[in-house]
Amino acid sequence: MSSDLQKGTRLVLGVESSCDETGLALVRIQPGQPPELLAHALHSQIDMHQAYGGVVPELASRDHIRRVVPLARQVLGQAGQVLQDIDLIAYTRGPGLAGALLVGAGFAAALGVALDKPLLGVHHLEGHLLSPFLSVDPPTFPFVALLVSGGHTQLMRVDGVGRYTLLGETVDDAAGEAFDKSAKLMGLPYPGGPHLSRLAQEGRDDAFDLPRPMMHSANLDFSFAGLKTAVRTNLVRMGWLDDELRLKDPASRPVLADLAASTQAAIVEVLVRKSLAALKRTGLQRLVVAGGVGANQRLRDQLDEAARRRGGRVHYPELHLCTDNGAMIALAAAMRVQAGLAQPQHAATFDVMPRWELASI
């Protein structure tokens, strides 16, 4: 089936539903050409989950059900294609929330049966990792990838599509989790990362002395749980824990901005230091940054500067493709097809993998 898909022009539909974003996209593959994004559409559930301070899995699944069909119609309309034009249906197989994943997988399978087209289950992190190939300045293999999302923080050596070696990862919280949990303690809305980094612009990086656990360890692993605890300790000391009103108080806001800036500086410094260590250890020059935290401007500025100093390059996905989306799922499937690595399944036999190691694929 794979060789058949490698011939001629093919259309891949991508479906992402692993967490709180429903993403659909159409990517075209032609032999000898890079995959081309024809259309993508996204519905973010952020507003819905905000009231609960985090993702409510059952609500997420129900909302994916509501959104997936209209979004599929939208991308087909945008690309001027019809359902019968689709050659392969790619869906996020994992990791992620089981119920949310099942909605995307179930939709993909139903469509596959109806159209008699094959399915391909894609690893969510492979989608993130390959997403810079849709940018105007795509990387070339091999490179080191820093994957920084809400659930994962990993450094990988990437030698080609499907050739991923884990170099290091977090032993506790993910970088996105460190942003989100610290922000929540400060009374900022969910998801905390973007809110915290916006507030940090008003503050001083060195106002609070926060820990950078494992920054100088000999390996390429990370640890962020101690940072969150330090943020909590500072807030408890000031009597401001989980206090949403503090931000509106003109006397407190600069102090919270200082805490936000110091938190961001600690996370970014560790990520930069370890990324550079990974480049040094592998002898590679190119770094790819992917996942939601890759949208952080401070991280981008510091990585660019550090890479420039050692004559290397950093590649990012387009800003709107940093967080979860269907384009990266369609792209990963397309690149697997082009590399001859895709093993599409018959639509009647789909599954999901809520826990799934990228290095194992």
Q: Which residues sit at the interface with Zn ion, rule CB under 5 A?
A: 149, 324
Residue 218 is classified by DSSP as: S
Of residues 149 and 275, the one with the C-beta less far from Zn ion:
149
Q: How far apart are CA 41 and CA 43, in angstroms?
A: 7
94 near ligand KG4, rule: CB under 6 A: no
Alpha-carbon distance of 333 to 252, in angstroms, equals: 49
In whole angstroms, give the CA distance from residue 313 to residue 306: 9
Q: What is the 3-state secondary structure (H, E, C) of 106-158?
A: HHHHHHHHHHCCCEEEEEHHHHHHHHHHHCCCCCCCCEEEEEECCCCEEEEEE
Min. distance of Cβ 20 from ligand KG4 in angstroms? Answer: 8
CA atoms of 185 and 150, how far apart (whole Å): 16
176 makes contact with ligand KG4 (CB under 6 A): yes
Are 338 and 48 in contact by the 8 Å Cβ rule? The answer is no
Residue whose CB is less far from ligand KG4, 199 or 347 = 199
Amino acid at residue number 323: T
- Give the shortest CB-280-to-ligand KG4 separation in angstroms: 25
Nearest of 150, 160, 82 to residue 340 by alpha carbon: 160
Number of residues that bind ligand KG4 (CB under 6 A): 19
Report, in Å, the least distance between residue 315 CB and Zn ion: 17
Binding mask 184-213 for ligand KG4 (x = CB under 6 A): -------xxxx--x----------------
CA distance 162 to 285: 20
Neighbouring-strand partners of residue 290:
147
Amino acid in position 269: E
Cα R_g (the chain), whole angstroms: 21
Among ligand KG4, Zn ion, none, partner that 193 touches (CB below 5 to 8 angstroms by kind): ligand KG4
Residues 248-307 that bind ligand KG4 (CB under 6 A): 291-293, 295-296
Q: State the DSSP code for 188.
A: P
* Nearer of residues 182 and 234 to ligand KG4, judged by Cβ: 182
Nearer to ligand KG4, 158 or 299 (CB): 299
Least distance to ligand KG4, CB of residue 74, Å: 20
Closest approach, Cβ 292 to ligand KG4, in A, equals 2
With CB under 5 to 8 Å by kind, the binding choice for 197 among ligand KG4, Zn ion, none is ligand KG4
Question: Do residues 32 and 10 lie in contact, with contact meaning Cβ atoms separated by under 8 Å?
Answer: no
Q: Name which of ligand KG4, Zn ion, none residue 95 binds, using a CB cut-off of 5 to 8 Å depending on partner kind.
A: none
Q: How far is the CB of 260 from ligand KG4 (least distance, A)?
A: 11
Note whether 149 binds ligand KG4 by CB under 6 A: yes
User: Interface residues with ligand KG4 (CB under 6 A)?
Assistant: 19, 149-151, 176, 179-180, 191-194, 197, 291-293, 295-296, 323-324
